Amino acid sequence: SDCGLNVHKQCSKMVPNDCKPDLKHVKKVYSCDLTTLVKAHFTKRPMVVDMCIREIESRGLNSEGLYRVSGFSDLIEDVKMAFDRDGEKADISVNMYEDINIITGALKLYFRDLPIPLITYDAYPKFIESAKTTDPDEQLEILHEALKLLPPAHCETLRYLMAHLKRVTLHEKENLMSAENLGIVFGPTLMRAPELDAMAALNDIRYQRLVVEMLIKNEDILF
């Protein structure tokens, strides 16, 4: 459906899986597979991520509770619709959305809406393993291994996001957002447990938080 290719069902096994998505078939930005989106737009990362982060860094780094404070959900939905409709022409400037928490909300929603999370289901167990390890050197080694399991577009987007969150923590005096606080916000946003039972998924939440915290703190070494 991303490429607009039609084949008989029984022939579909013969078709090489090297789809170059065609923009006219990629109807939206949110809820679209991340790799499909970047291939369709010929970019390294989704433009939503670039545009939101640019906006947040230009006017929001000192905002108290950045990423923790929720923006008005109707306006976040507006931003989502603007991206789906206008792509990189979407206007998310201060003239349109004065409250920076609307932009942070739109960015978090983008990650929550991904059909395959930024930290993919395949790589998930390895990331969780790193958080369960107590030796700091071993943690970093396992994280390195885990990052290699991510598809290129996922890894690049994660790298860019972690560099941004690191810059957010440099303004902690004003925004009160430490790596730990950001981990609490972004853990469940970037990671979703593969089909586990509810108890196991609940148990993983603290490890998800730790993974993001470690990625932020060691961003310069890991990427």
User: Per CATH, which fold does 116-222 belong to?
Assistant: Phosphatidylinositol 3-kinase; Chain A (1.10.555)
Give pLDDT tens digits for 53-77: 999 999 999 999 999 999 999 999 9
Residues of the chain above pLDDT 90, percent: 79
Number of H helices, E strands in the chain: 11, 0
- 127 near 147, Cβ under 8 Å? no
If phi over 0 gives left and psi between -120 and 50 gives alpha, with beta otherwise, what is residue 46?
Answer: beta
Boundaries of every domain in the chain: 116-222
Taking alpha carbons only, the member of 124, 108, 109, 143 closest to residue 220 is: 143
The alpha carbon dihedral of 19, 21, 27, 31 has a sign of positive
CA 83 to chain centre: 16
The SS3 of residue 143 is: helix
- 133-167: pLDDT as tens digits: 999 999 999 999 999 999 999 999 999 999 999 99
Q: Which amino acid is at 17?
A: N
Res. 83: pLDDT tops 70: yes
Q: Please state the pTM of the whole predicted model.
A: 0.89
Residue 196 DSSP symbol: -
**How many beta carbons lie within 10 A of that of residue 128, not counting itself?**
20
Check whether 18 has a pLDDT greater than 70. Answer: no
